[in-house]
Amino acid sequence: MGSVLLVLGSCTSLQIGAALAVHLFALGGSTGTTFLRLGLAALVLLLVVRPRVRRWTAVQWKASIALGLALAGMNLSFYTALTRVDLGTAVTIEFLGPLTLAAVTSRRARDLVWVALALAGVGVLGVAGESHSGGLDPVGVGFALLAGAFWAAYIRTGARLGQVVPGHGGLAVATVVATLVLAPVGVPGAVQAVTAPNGWWLALGTAVMASVVPYSLELAALRRMPQRTFGVLLSLEPVIASLAGWALLGQGVTAAGAVGIVLVVAASAGATWSAGTAGRQRARGIPDQGRAVPHTPTSAGSTAD
């Protein structure tokens, strides 16, 4: 039960951080907010982890830079989407990235069923629109889809980094890389945000609630529970995002929109369960129909949302 509470706490903290970021948009825009979140998170990680990069090989540097580029694209795309669509909607659409990755890296036909179910959920969202408008903003949807693509890239590059760099030093360096990539477009908005009344506290709250706390809780949870269980619990993230949007931002969800979110949550949970079942079959020496994706969807953030 304790490990379940850790994951739920991570998801909740992540969406509270995203809600704080929405308030920060008015001060620094999506670029300034993204830069502040990643920059402050990088500072915390460097102070805590203190990566020993002097002995790193070219392979380790390339892996860290690749993850940093994925982090920059994922966070900036997601926050730009939040300026045009509701929090719950953005997270739901973004989930298509990991699900599509699971489908294209698997040979099992049933994995395509989960992606089709998720696409149906997003389609329902598109038809239903949001409670405050007649339809979804197409530009916002586009940025949410782009964030999902970068999320898939984050999973791939993160897996590679985990193979070549032990500990969390690679993540710290990757976060620094992402901050540097966004500096040219993010610094002006960041300066404007932190010099505004309460801007600094909003920025610090966003970084802590959307990065530092979720990182810590997820790491503790992964040490206590199987990856499959972890992935299933993360499938609740669109629901938690919708609740956070309603409670903290006054964003409502239509009945049809709620159906769309439930379909995506079911697809994510199903894909995670399917991968876990295939893994247990291989462990027992039972032939599988195909190769399961070895990674379950993790939070954008873990770094994005």
Domain ranges of the chain: 2-283
d(C-alpha 305, C-alpha 97), whole Å: 13
Q: What whole-number distance in Å separates Cα of residue 158 and Cα of residue 178?
A: 13
Does residue 132 carry a pLDDT above 70? no
Among 21-25, 60-64, 260-264, 287-291, whose mean pLDDT is lowest?
287-291
What pTM did the predictor assign?
Answer: 0.77
Collapsing DSSP states into helix, strand and coil, what is residue 84?
coil
Average pLDDT value for the chain = 78
- Please tell me the predicted confidence (pLDDT) of residue 177: 96
Q: What is the DSSP code (8-state) at residue 212? A: I
Dump the DSSP string for 9-38: HHHHHHHHHHHHHHHHHHHHHHHHHHHHHH
pLDDT of residue 288: 37
In this predicted structure, the answer to whether residue 248 has a pLDDT above a threshold of 80 is no
